[in-house]
Structure formats: C-alpha cells, structure tokens
Structure 1
C-alpha cells in the first residue's frame, strides 16, 4: 500500500485552475459592485450592538423581578440585577468604544480598538465582581450568577437573530 505524499511543489496554480475552468465546480470569485453590495446589505442588515445591550438589560430586569418574586427576598433581586449589570455595563462600554469614529479609521485601528475595548470590558467585569460583596448587602451569589449567566446567553440569542432570511 503506497502512501501519497504532497510536497510544497503540489500547490494550486492559478493558471491551471483558470485553464481547467473552476476547481470542483465552484464559481469564479467576482467582486460586488456598489449596487450589489447595497442590495446585499438591505437583505441582511448588520445587527446593532446596542440592540443586544438593550435586550441584555431587559433580560436582567426580568431575572431580577423573578428572583424577587420566587424567593420573596429583596437581596436576591438586587443580587440578580447586579449580576446583569456586570454584563450590561462593560458591554455598553465596549459597544461605545467600537462604534466610535476612531475605531473605524482603518482595519488595523479597528483590530487594535477591538482588543483594547475587550480588555476594558473584562477588567470592568472583574472589578464589578470583586466589588459585589461591598456594594450589594447582603449578597446572594447564586442570584448574582444566574443574572450574569442569563444576560451572557443573550449573545447566543443575537446569533440566532442573524439566521438565514427566507427570500420572497
């Protein structure tokens, strides 16, 4: 049984692909015109980060109310609300930073801005969690974690909002 080995000389050659048509029946890449790009954007508009933040805040409010109603204790409601705030506030800071003019000047500036604002988001979240026992008295860690986790799950919900659109 012979084993076929591929060497560096076995790379794809653009001229061979053009002569043979397209590789494996795929269409040849053509850049979109301005009108085609605008039509594509109209069909599938980008999701606003502010919409995600707003839904996270709403979920946090609902979780806090449910914690208050289920347990009958105000500390559980405040703890769940604070847990939601540890997701919403840093997320809003990052959304504000990423939607600024400075972060969209160039692809390199956008990448650096993303890393910077993600670091700020993590640092603020950790600081808020560290300050939780001092700011929320008495603190219910289970309620705080439920509020935090459910607000973070909104990101998955946002991905489903971007699901396929049925063309009419």
Structure 2
C-alpha cells in the first residue's frame, strides 16, 4: 500500500511542476517564403482520394473477373450464366464500397471557406458524409436481391471485402510512391 501512496504522491508533484495550459507561452507562427513552401510541399506530398477509390474499383473488377474465370476453368461453376451471376455478385459487392467512397471523395474534395471555424466545419462535414456513405452502402446491399439476378451473398461479401481491403493496399502503395527515394551508395 505504501508503494501505491508514494506513486500517487509523485504523480501529483509531477503534475504541479508542469503547470497548466493557461500558463504556457504562446508560440509565434512564422509565414513561409514561397521557396520554403514549395520545398515543404515537395517533402510532404498529398495523395488524392480519387487514387484510393480507383484502386478499390480496379481490385473489385479484378476480383469479379478472376472469380468468374477460375469458376469456369476449374469446373466449380457449371455454366456461363452462373459464372456471370457470381461475377456480377462480386462486382456489385465491390460497387457497394466504391460508389459511396466516390461520393465521399467528391464531397470532401470541394474547398471549404477559410474562416475561424473552418476546421470544425470540415470535421462535421466529414462525419455527416461518412454516415451518408455508410447508409448508402447498407442501402445498396439491402437492394441487392432485387438488382442482381442470381445473387450469391457469399460472392457479394467477397467483393465487399476485396474492395475494403484494397484501401489499405492502395494506401501502402501510395506511401511508397510518395516517399523520397533514399540515395543509394555507389557499388564498389
């Protein structure tokens, strides 16, 4: 018990020595010159959300084509019509991720007025449109039995997962693409 009490005492002393946010001095901000701003932008590139959406769309289309092709070649799927319905289910599942993501990318790529509350407005706008994106994805999945003839729920969920996971893979590739190349040592 003594150890716990000493720990609590030390923690209280540490907090008192740190002061509060009100006591902290304000840091002056400095404007960058045009050259400094250009160099900063070169070191910190921004990727477009449209590139991520494109990666998801390509991954969904590839998954649909591969599912249909492998099913026909392996004999897992009996007929061409069934292969098309399963590939269509995969494609629809991917579309249930890609279309709402494209809507969110479109809305979030529009500029916001620059004023004191712009950061809060941007955050609120993101949360509202993220909810709209989720509602649209759920509505698309709920409408799938009427829109996709010969629907395979397993294939639909597979397309959904492929498109969602493509987001992470795309982000990884984009980070590698944007990272500055390390200078290589000359070969001896």
Report runs of 4+ in structure 1 exceeding 3 Å deviation.
Answer: 28-32, 102-105
- State the structure with more CA Rg: 2
1:9 aligns with 2:8: no
User: 1:85-96 maps to which residues of 2 (within 5 A)?
Assistant: 85-96=95-106
Tell me how far apart the structure 1 counterparts of residues 43 and 64 of structure 2 sit (CA, whole Å). 37
Aligned residue pairs: how many? Answer: 157
Taking the aligned partners of 2:164 and 2:157, their CA distance within structure 1 comes to 10
TM-score of the superposed pair, with normalisation by structure 2: 0.72
Does structure 2 conserve the Cα–Cα contact (< 8 Å) formed by 1:81 and 1:144? yes
RMSD of aligned Cα (Å): 2.8
Deviation at 1:116, TM superposition (A): 1.1
Q: Which residue of 2 aligns with 1:64?
A: 64
Structure 1 position 146, deviation (Å):
1.2
Q: TM-score, normalised by structure 1?
A: 0.80
What are the Cα deviations for residues 45-104 of structure 1, in whole angstroms up to 9, with x where unaligned? 111000111111111111110111122311110000001100100000000111113477
- Point out the more displaced range, 32-41 or 43-52: 32-41
Cα distance in 2 for residues equivalent to 1:74 and 1:124: 25
Instruction: For residue 33 of structure 1, report the CA deviation from its aligned partner.
Output: 2.1
Structure 1 gaps, min length 5: 19-27
Provide the rounded CA distance (Å) in 2 between the counterparts of 1:104 and 1:93: 23
Checking the alignment, whether the CA contact within 8 Å between 1:103 and 1:110 is kept in structure 2 is: no
Per the alignment, do residues 44 and 101 of structure 1 end up closer, same or farther by CA in structure 2, a change over 3 Å counting?
closer
| Unpaired stretches in structure 2, ≥5 consecutive residues | 73-82, 184-188
Which of residues 124, 135, 149 is equivalent to 2:147? 135
Asked whether the equivalents of residues 60 and 84 of structure 1 are also in contact (C-alpha less than 8 Å), the reply is yes
